[in-house]
């Protein structure tokens, strides 16, 4: 549903600007209708056919007199008509081509604004994570230790954990952390991001105490009398200050019985529990946002718009900063298709997460479409800029061949990305 919304908005941008300049739009389709369509409708006295194709690889508007996905060579061989794209001034054609990208950005800004207005902006400040973080193997090789509290990257305060924090750390020369109460400067070496992409373990996760959020029905935890809010502090007499420490000890005692010390209402209790073959007790741990103190920024209706735009621009900057890693071997192996996109959404329906991810994908769609690749909007923009500078239209044959090459490249990327999804599903 999310991608369908984005495609419709993108194509509507092209459509509305084309109609604004009195350019005929012959088709407006969600998905591609190669051979046949699942649905089609042409209103009376309308020049545009609306429909839904069977091939779910985006969508398109067929604009008269334009070399596009339709590859309508017959129309291009006829004399130019005043309602065609090719007869309009270059600046009008340029606006038609960038309109889709523009509409996707506007949509992202609007969604971010409404999310901030409806749900506020609640986040967990890194300085409030008193137990620090648990770091991946690549991060530990760079000098981080479990329990480090991230403070600054090259003197810039690290506010919250996310993509921006990772990029700041990866690009920094010095990262400042709090370790066992001491402030320590870690000198960073180049290659952290490359190592993270290669290892595919991520950078870090929150280090949290073992506070039970809920127990599974009939589980060892429930049979042992554990309940929501209990805080497990030791296993077999060994102190377990974090959930990671608990997991490690339980893993060493699979299929065995363990003694547990826990706190309930400030009073310490003890119990025993039988572990299963996976070394688990059968409970959900309380997430970091419920353990540590969060911070909330609230926005009124009008305040939400500049904040939403700021969030959208920052998301775009962060994505552009990450994009360079796509061209590395590790980055290319991390590419994903529709399966990877689907995994971005939570397993249980959540409107806030849905709209946040839709806004993020809208930013990505805008950026990817403006890349100077034939068959994308950016490819058409590239030829139009050439025309504006040289005062000459590019050769139509050259544009035709470029369009074919671009489409072949894009289909190859789609096949590769979705193929990687399949490979990861088989060998995960």
Mean pLDDT rounded to a whole number for the chain: 86
Q: What is the pLDDT of residue 99?
A: 94
Residues 131 and 202 in one domain: yes
Domain finish residue from 148, 181, 206: 206
Residues 148 and 133 in one domain: yes
Tens digit of each residue's pLDDT (9 = 90 or more) over 359-396: 998 998 898 888 888 778 888 888 888 888 888 887 77
Tens digit of each residue's pLDDT (9 = 90 or more) over 169-227: 988 999 999 999 999 999 998 888 888 888 878 899 999 999 999 999 989 999 999 99
Q: CA angle, corner 106, sides to 103 and 112, nearest 5?
A: 140
**Residue 145 lies inside a defined structural domain of this protein:** yes
Residues 202 and 215 in one domain: no
Residues 196 and 162 in one domain: yes
The confidence band for 421, taking pLDDT boundaries of 50, 70 and 90, is low
Dihedral sign of CA atoms 339, 341, 342, 345 in order: positive
The confidence band for 336, taking pLDDT boundaries of 50, 70 and 90, is low
Residues 217 and 266 in one domain: yes
Range of the domain at 241: 210-286
Give the pLDDT mean for 346-353. Answer: 76
Write down the pTM of the prediction: 0.82
Percentage above 70 pLDDT, the chain: 87
Residues 227 and 242 in one domain: yes
Q: What is the pLDDT of residue 426?
A: 56
**Residue 276 lies inside a defined structural domain of this protein:** yes
Residues 221 and 256 in one domain: yes
Tens digit of each residue's pLDDT (9 = 90 or more) over 101-156: 999 999 999 999 999 999 999 999 999 999 999 999 999 999 999 999 999 999 99
The confidence band for 330, taking pLDDT boundaries of 50, 70 and 90, is low
**Residue 173 lies inside a defined structural domain of this protein:** yes
Q: What is the pLDDT of residue 277?
A: 84
Cβ 52 vs Cβ 37: under 8 Å: yes
Residues 196 and 219 in one domain: no
What's the 3-state SS for the chain?
Answer: CHHHHHHHHHHHHHHHHHHHCCCCEEEEEEEEEEEEEEEEECCCCCCCEEEEEEEEEEEEEEECCCCCCCCCHHHHHCCCCCCCHHHCCHHHHHHHHHHHHHHHHHHHHHHHHHHHHHHCEEECEHHHCCCCEEECHHHHHCCCCCCCEEEEECCEECCECCHHHHHHHHHCCEEEEEECCEEEEEECCCCHHHHHHHHCCCCEEECCCEEEEEECCCCHHHHCCCCCCCEEEEECCEECCCHHHHHHHHHCCCCCEEEEEEEECCEEEEEEEECCCCCCCCEEECCHHHHCCCEEECCCHHHHHHHHHHHHHHHHHHHHHHHHHHHCHHHHHCCCCHHHHHHCCCCCCCHHHHHHHHHHHHHHHHHHHCCCCCCCHHHHHHHHHHHHHHCCCCCHHHHHHHHHHHHHHHHHHHHHHHHHHHHHHHHC
CA distances 44 to 47, 50, 84, Å, are 9, 12, 21
With 70 as the cut, is the pLDDT of residue 76 above it?
A: no
Question: Under 8 Å CB-to-CB from 318, ≥6 apart: which residues?
Answer: 163, 164, 167
**Phi-psi region at 153: left, alpha or beta (left = phi > 0; alpha = psi -120 to 50):** beta
Residues 241 and 176 in one domain: no
Question: Under 8 Å CB-to-CB from 37, ≥6 apart: which residues?
Answer: 29, 51, 52, 53, 54
With 90 as the cut, is the pLDDT of residue 73 above it?
A: no
**Residue 50 lies inside a defined structural domain of this protein:** no
Pairing relationship of beta strands 238-239 and 174-179 according to DSSP bridges: unpaired
Domain finish residue from 255, 286, 317: 286
Residues 200 and 221 in one domain: no
What is the number of domains present in the chain?
2
Tens digit of each residue's pLDDT (9 = 90 or more) over 262-292: 999 999 999 999 988 888 899 999 999 999 9
Q: What is the pLDDT of residue 200?
A: 78
Q: What is the pLDDT of residue 22?
A: 93
The confidence band for 74, taking pLDDT boundaries of 50, 70 and 90, is low
Residues 251 and 218 in one domain: yes
The CATH number of the domain where 144 resides is what?
2.30.42
**Residue 105 lies inside a defined structural domain of this protein:** no
With 60 as the cut, is the pLDDT of residue 341 above it?
A: no
Q: What is the pLDDT of residue 288?
A: 93
Q: What is the pLDDT of residue 374?
A: 78
Q: What is the pLDDT of residue 428?
A: 53
Residues 177 and 242 in one domain: no
HSE-CB at 238 with a 13 A cutoff on CA atoms is 12
Q: What is the pLDDT of residue 382?
A: 86
Dihedral sign of CA atoms 274, 276, 278, 280 in order: negative
Task: Tell me which residue of 53, 27, 30 sits closest to 42, measured CA to CA.
Answer: 27
Strand partners, 401: none
The confidence band for 15, taking pLDDT boundaries of 50, 70 and 90, is very high
Question: Under 8 Å CB-to-CB from 332, ≥6 apart: which residues?
Answer: 326
Task: Tell me which residue of 38, 57, 60, 34 sits closest to 48, measured CA to CA.
Answer: 60
Q: Token pair of 163, please?
A: 């993509």
Residue 320 and residue 314: Cα distance in Å, rounded? 10
**Residue 269 lies inside a defined structural domain of this protein:** yes
Least confident piece of the model among 204-213, 326-335, 398-407: 326-335
Residue matched to tokens 């003197």: 155
Pairing relationship of beta strands 238-239 and 210-215 according to DSSP bridges: unpaired
Percentage above 90 pLDDT, the chain: 54
Give the pLDDT mean for 239-245. Answer: 93
With 80 as the cut, is the pLDDT of residue 422 above it?
A: no
Cβ 353 vs Cβ 95: under 8 Å: no
Domain finish residue from 222, 251, 286: 286
**Residue 121 lies inside a defined structural domain of this protein:** no
The CATH number of the domain where 218 resides is what?
2.30.42.10
**Residue 215 lies inside a defined structural domain of this protein:** yes
């Amino acid at each position: 549903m999310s991608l369908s919304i984005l495609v419709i908005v993108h194509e509507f941008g092209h459509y509305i600007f084309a109609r604004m300049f009195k350019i005929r739009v012959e088709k407006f389709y969600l998905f591609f209708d190669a051979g046949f369509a699942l649905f089609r409708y042409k209103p009376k006295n309308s020049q545009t056919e609306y429909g839904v194709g069977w091939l779910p690889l985006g969508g398109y508007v067929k604009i008269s007199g334009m070399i596009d996905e339709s590859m309508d060579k017959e129309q291009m061989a006829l004399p130019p008509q005043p309602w065609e794209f090719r007869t309009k001034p270059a600046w009008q054609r340029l606006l038609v081509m960038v309109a889709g990208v523009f509409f996707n950005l506007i949509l992202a800004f609007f969604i971010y604004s409404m999310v901030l207005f409806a749900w506020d902006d609640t986040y967990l400040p890194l300085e409030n994570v008193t137990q620090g973080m648990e770091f991946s193997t690549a991060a530990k090789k760079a000098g981080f230790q479990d329990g480090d509290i991230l403070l600054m990257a090259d003197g810039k305060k690290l506010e919250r954990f996310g993509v921006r924090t990772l990029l700041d750390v990866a690009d920094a020369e010095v990262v400042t952390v709090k370790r066992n109460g001491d402030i320590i400067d870690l000198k960073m070496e180049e290659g952290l991001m490359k190592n993270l992409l290669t290892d595919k373990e991520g950078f870090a996760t929150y280090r949290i105490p073992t506070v039970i959020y809920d127990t599974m029905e009939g589980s060892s935890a429930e049979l042992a009398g554990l309940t929501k809010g209990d805080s497990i502090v030791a296993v077999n007499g060994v102190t377990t200050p974090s959930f990671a420490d608990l997991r490690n000890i339980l893993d060493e005692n699979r299929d065995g019985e363990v003694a547990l010390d826990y706190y309930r209402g400030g009073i310490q209790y003890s119990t025993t529990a039988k572990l299963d073959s996976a070394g688990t007790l059968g409970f959900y741990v309380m997430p970091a946002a419920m353990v540590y103190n969060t911070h909330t920024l609230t926005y009124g209706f009008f305040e939400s718009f500049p904040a939403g735009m700021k969030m959208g621009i920052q998301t775009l900057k962060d994505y552009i900063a990450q994009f360079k890693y796509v061209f590395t071997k590790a980055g290319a192996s991390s590419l994903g298709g529709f399966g990877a996109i689907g995994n971005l959404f939570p397993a249980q329906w959540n409107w806030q997460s849905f709209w946040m991810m839709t806004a993020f994908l809208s930013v990505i769609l805008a950026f990817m479409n403006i890349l100077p690749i034939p068959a994308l909007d950016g490819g058409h923009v590239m030829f139009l800029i050439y025309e504006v500078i040289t005062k000459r239209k590019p050769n139509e044959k050259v544009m035709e061949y470029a369009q074919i090459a671009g489409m072949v490249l894009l289909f190859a990327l789609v096949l590769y990305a979705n193929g990687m999804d399949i490979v990861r599903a088989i060998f995960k």
